[in-house]
Structure 1
Amino acid sequence: MAWLPLLLATMLGHGSGAPAALKTCGQSLYDATEYICHADNFLCRITAGEPLSVCGGACYSTFQYACSPGGTLALLPAATAAPFTLAVSNPSLPALHGQPVSAAGGLRWAVGGPTASYCPASVVGPDACPPGNATAVLLAADGRAAMAVVVPGGQEVYLAPDWSVGYTQAHSAGMPAGSVVGGFGAYVGGGFVNLNGDGWGWVACAPPPGAADDARWRLVGRNATSAAALAGCAPVNLKVVPFNSSSVGAWQYT
């Protein structure tokens, strides 16, 4: 009767009409919008639109892990050798799925839209200015992330006190009091993950009512501290995309 708690949880979550929608996986009943059945006998959750894979009796995300032929889980290689860009992933949200993560202006990350960047061409010469039309990121081995820029001192990525993703102003290390730096992971062929505060991944939050027409969805780190406040936001993964244009994305992001 090990399947009974899962059945009860599914019924409670969907009301009296739920039993007709349940499917069978081995001896368990499950909701196919929340779980995937492997080999007709092993259930894994669907998280942020990703049906988790199974390896050696454990469910795992392909954004962070790989399964060896012998059934052993291992972390994907760390993406610390070169800059990369990010793309939002959640196939159940077609308006967001595949959209790039952009430096949206105001020193914050958002979903889609143009990249906000600047280069002092009159000072350094136009030939020294990178294109500045893509948002590129670097990850250090210690889990700290930064924007891939030319400007001296760089621009560090942080999680603000409300757990939204921001980056420092050029020529300044200042950030809101209580912000968190580090605790990130990025994996070749995988994703950019949030490991802070018992990290539960990322969510995209819609612009508030009355926002400007060009307002974009903002990216926020979801964890044990912020989960309740972010219940109305959409869970997403952030896919690491190789950045081949140059070693930097912009002179600086704004």
Structure 2
Amino acid sequence: MSGTSQKFDRGTFLNFKAAAPEAAGAAATIKPSWTFWEEVECDNSVAVANSTGCVFAKNTPTWQTNTKRYPAAAAYYWVMREKLADHPGSKKYNKPMHRMTDKVQQEHNRTTICNKTGAGKWTAHPDATGDTQGVQCDEFPFAATLESGGIPTPVVNGGICAQLFAQKQDDGTWRLFDDDGYDPPTWKEICGRASMPGKQNGDAGRGPGLSGFFTKARVQNGGAFYMEIPQMEGCNPDDVCVIRP
């Protein structure tokens, strides 16, 4: 039946371990213990393309962002994960993000953080580099997560976010800069907002990037996940970090 799920254990096995003797010359004792295998969850869910599949329910999956396809977006997500106070998506800080499938709430989150009118409205930075889809507002944490800056109250616009823009350099690499049209980041913000090449924004955060991961990893509504950018892990976010192809 569509939308159903079931959890079960792959099984258990009896483990025996020799304990140290309690006194000199005494024989070692054998103590049995039960070891439980990881729990498996199978589902037939609309949330993951109305398909059937199984995952290890006790494992929190990790989205590895594709730096070759989305170099500017990936770098931006990594900086936000490392420098925002809540470190959303960080395995190191045990701060997973959680998927949110409500389309109405997702749109609310986007229009709240990337508001184009009113106080704190987003305006594309004039030095940001666009692509075939121009320059777009890219919010983090993602609109499709419970950690989105559009969910907490009394947030009313994206002017409260850390503001950046992405620019492609003459050597083909990408750099992130503070958007001087807004207050400098304090890194106490709960969200980020960046002027990002539109196709990278759409493909990474809303298209085949994150959405494809949700399907492949069978992340349900409310399900936790981490995010990492392999080519940038270990770099100091206060330094200039260069992604090498």
Q: TM-score, normalised on structure 1? A: 0.25
Name the structure, 1 or 2, with higher relative contact order (CA <8 Å, separation 6+).
2
Q: Give 1 or 2: higher strand fraction.
A: 1
TM-score, length-normalised on structure 2? 0.26
